């Protein structure tokens, strides 16, 4: 998966360029009504969610497709960090005999090759999923200026994938992240990982740099909370 290489390339700098991801991770944990003991996290990155876990747990499995990110993840008692692609048969085989009180995921599942398949497999091992995903409206002005489509799933596709197996609550939030200079803004796009592996041609990138006259970037995220299985 090309995306893994994109994240791995900037893994050591990622902590400085994932402001929105950190906001989402904190919000995700803050909204939990319980303190689950068995936790599975998908797309753990360098530990945005884990660093917000303040209670004792019995077992925590953290999954990420990037070896570099897994190496940066905090280590702890009863924590297992594994480098696996959550879209893969290897991952599905890994979890098929397991059960978790909750599955958590922040700023990761929008990259799923087949989100519906992932949710289906998760429905076999848990009753509760709390996740936040970026939607295709992230960087929407950039897409318009460059005449490109988002590599990220749209809001409706995300809702449909979860709603096939669970009754859910959804909340969509639009963020604007301001920058002091155009250089800082474009550095963020490059190193935050939000743009994925889709890179613009030199011509399109130059045109975008010249024509993008906003001092902020746009992000749209959807919070998903499962209520019950269907």
Helix H, strand E, coil C: the string for the chain is CHHHHHHHHCHHHHHHCCHHHHHHHHHHHHCCCCCCCEEEEECCCCCCCHHHCCCCCCEEEEEECCHHHHHHCCCCCCEEEEECCCCCHHHHHHHCCCCECEEEEECCHHHCCCHHHHHHHHHCCECCEEEEEECCCCCHHHHHHHCCCCCCCCHHHHHHHHHCCEEEEEEEEEEEEECCCHHHHHHHHHHCCCCCCCCCCHHHHHHHHHHCCCCEEEEEEEEEEEEEEC
Q: Which domain holds residue 173?
A: 2-138+150-178+218-229
> Does a structural domain hold residue 85?
yes
Q: What's the pLDDT at 12?
A: 47
Q: What's the pLDDT at 16?
A: 56
Q: Report residues of the chain scoring pLDDT below 50.
A: 1-15, 196-197
The string of pLDDT tens digits covering residues 78-103 is 999 999 999 999 999 999 999 999 99
**Angle at which helices 115-123 and 155-163 cross, to 10°:** 30
- 13 C-beta neighbours (distance < 10 Å), count: 13
> Does a structural domain hold residue 198?
no
Angle at 11 between CA 94 and CA 146, to 5 degrees: 105
Q: What's the pLDDT at 11?
A: 40
The string of pLDDT tens digits covering residues 201-223 is 778 888 888 999 999 889 899 99
Q: What's the pLDDT at 194?
A: 59
> Does a structural domain hold residue 212?
no
Question: What is the pTM (predicted TM-score) of this model?
Answer: 0.88
> Does a structural domain hold residue 132?
yes
Nearest one of 161, 197, 155 to 65, comparing CA atoms: 197
Q: What's the pLDDT at 177?
A: 86
Q: What's the pLDDT at 205?
A: 81
Q: What's the pLDDT at 195?
A: 57
> Does a structural domain hold residue 213?
no
> Does a structural domain hold residue 92?
yes
Sign of CA dihedral 143, 174, 135, 41: positive
Q: What's the pLDDT at 157?
A: 96
> Does a structural domain hold residue 143?
no
Q: What's the pLDDT at 226?
A: 98
Tally of domains in the chain: 1
> Does a structural domain hold residue 122?
yes
Question: CATH number, domain at 165?
Answer: 3.40.50.150
Q: What's the pLDDT at 7?
A: 40
């Amino acid at each position: 998966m090309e995306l893994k290489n994109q994240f791995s390339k900037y893994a050591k700098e990622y902590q400085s360029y994932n402001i929105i991801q950190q906001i989402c991770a904190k919000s995700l944990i803050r909204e939990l009504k319980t303190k689950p003991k068995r936790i599975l996290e998908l797309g753990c990155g360098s530990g945005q969610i884990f660093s917000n876990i303040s209670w004792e747990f019995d077992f925590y499995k953290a999954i990420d497709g990037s070896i570099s990110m897994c190496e940066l993840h905090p280590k702890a008692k009863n924590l297992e960090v594994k480098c696996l692609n959550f879209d893969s048969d290897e991952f599905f085989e890994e979890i098929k005999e397991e059960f978790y009180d909750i599955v958590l995921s922040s700023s990761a599942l929008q990259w799923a090759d087949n989100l519906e398949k992932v949710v289906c497999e998760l429905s076999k091992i848990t009753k509760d999923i709390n996740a936040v995903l970026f939607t295709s409206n992230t960087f929407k002005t950039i897409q318009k200026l460059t005449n490109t489509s988002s590599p990220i799933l749209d809001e409706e596709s995300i809702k449909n994938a979860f709603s096939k197996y669970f009754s859910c609550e959804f909340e969509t939030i639009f963020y604007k992240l301001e920058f002091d200079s155009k250089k800082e803004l474009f550095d963020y796009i490059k190193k935050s990982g939000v743009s994925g592996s889709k890179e613009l041609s030199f011509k399109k990138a130059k045109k975008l740099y010249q024509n993008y006259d906003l001092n902020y970037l746009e992000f749209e995220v959807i919070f998903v909370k499962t209520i019950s299985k269907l």
